[in-house]
Amino acid sequence: MSNPAKPKHIKEAQGTLKPSREVENPVTFQALSVIPDIPDVIPDAGKEYFIYCCKALIEIGVLSAAIINKAVRAASWYADFVKASKAIDEHGYIQTTKSGYDAISPHLTMKERAEKYLTEFEREYGLTLASSQKLSMPTKKPDDELFD
């Protein structure tokens, strides 16, 4: 999976904007400054995660209408993660099948897959501590005049 394109204003702030690579008519989306209404398709367990993601993306300045769908999917995966975690806590990692064999709980696979997708989403937009460095601004360089 390739890295997502950074918005132009972030590249300008970082000093990495190259005029030769700019697109003549880029598709742009207005950055949102308020949390949108929570869609009905998000399960109850994922609504708080949706709000958390939107707040964090607003602080970074990258929340737009184009990203809302990804945040909705991430919130749904978070709800699946919570549901699978509860089922594992209740029934354990190993379940006995109807035929009498012990098998790994299918909830474990669901939990791992949800965690994978959540991690990918959070890394893509700098919501984890390590990936937030992708969107960090460069440190200010010292003035050369101080040593004249």
In a domain, 107, yes or no: yes
In a domain, 11, yes or no: no
How far apart CA 129 and CA 27 sit, in angstroms, is 29
Q: Range of 123's domain? A: 35-137
Model-wide pTM > 0.85: no
User: With 90 as the cut, is the pLDDT of residue 60 above it?
Assistant: no
Question: For the chain, how many structural domains are there in total?
Answer: 1
In a domain, 7, yes or no: no
User: Exposed/middle/buried for 135, CB within 10 Å: 0-12, 13-18, 19+?
Assistant: middle
In a domain, 93, yes or no: yes
Does residue 43 or residue 126 have the better pLDDT? 43
pLDDT in tens, 111-127: 999 999 999 998 888 78
In a domain, 13, yes or no: no
User: With 80 as the cut, is the pLDDT of residue 26 above it?
Assistant: no
How far apart CA 22 and CA 7 sit, in angstroms, is 11
In a domain, 79, yes or no: yes
